[in-house]
Amino acid sequence: MRRAPRITPASGSHDGEHLRARPSDFSAPAFWQKLARFALAAGRELVEKALWLYYAAERPDVPRWAKLTMWGALAYFVMPVDAIPDLLPGVGYVDDLGALAAALATVAGYVDEDVKARARERLSAWFGPSLN
């Protein structure tokens, strides 16, 4: 079993105020636990993006640099301490969505239709069928 994510100050930060997640901080059990607890509060869009990254990172043909990017964003998502606390109504997941969106912009070529289909299937089980 992996340990809880480590939180380290970003380079150049002396007061520990700026936090960053390392890809090694990612843990699949922590990812699924956070999704189970906060899926409804986080919303379908954020959960969809997290699932895209998770399923794309599982693909054996994805290069290491892309997996590290995905795992880094997912590690930030599961970190217990955020730049914006997740419990703040309406804004708590904005930083998480930003981290996931930035990672997706970088690795979009590896989020294929199979990855999206797997995410849709999981989303339908949790949220019901999409209205789109």
Q: Containing domain of residue 121, as a range?
A: 36-127
Least confident piece of the model among 5-14, 71-80, 107-116: 5-14
108 vs 47, higher pLDDT = 108
Residue 6 lies in a domain: no
Instruction: Identify the pLDDT of residue 94.
Output: 75
Residue 26 lies in a domain: no
- Measured CA to CA, the distance from residue 81 to residue 102 in angstroms comes to 19
80 vs 106, higher pLDDT = 106
Instruction: Identify the pLDDT of residue 95.
Output: 78
Residue 76 lies in a domain: yes
Residue 15 lies in a domain: no
Q: Which three-class secondary structure string do you get for the chain? A: CCCCCCCEECCCCCCCCCEECCHHHCCHHHHHHHHHHHHHHHCHHHHHHHHHHHHHHHCCCCCHHHHHHHHHHHHHHHCCCCCCCCCCCCCCCHHHHHHHHHHHHHHHHHCCHHHHHHHHHHHHHHHCCCCC
What is the number of domains present in the chain? Answer: 1
Residue 5 lies in a domain: no
Residue 25 lies in a domain: no
Residue 1 lies in a domain: no
Tell me the average pLDDT of the chain.
Answer: 75
Residue 59 lies in a domain: yes
Read off the pLDDT of residues 87-110 as tens digits, 9 standing for 90 and up. 555 556 777 888 899 999 999 999
7 vs 66, higher pLDDT = 66
Instruction: Identify the pLDDT of residue 41.
Output: 61
Whether the CB-CB separation of 70 and 107 falls below 8 Å is answered with yes
**Residue 68 predicted with pLDDT over 50:** yes
123 vs 30, higher pLDDT = 123
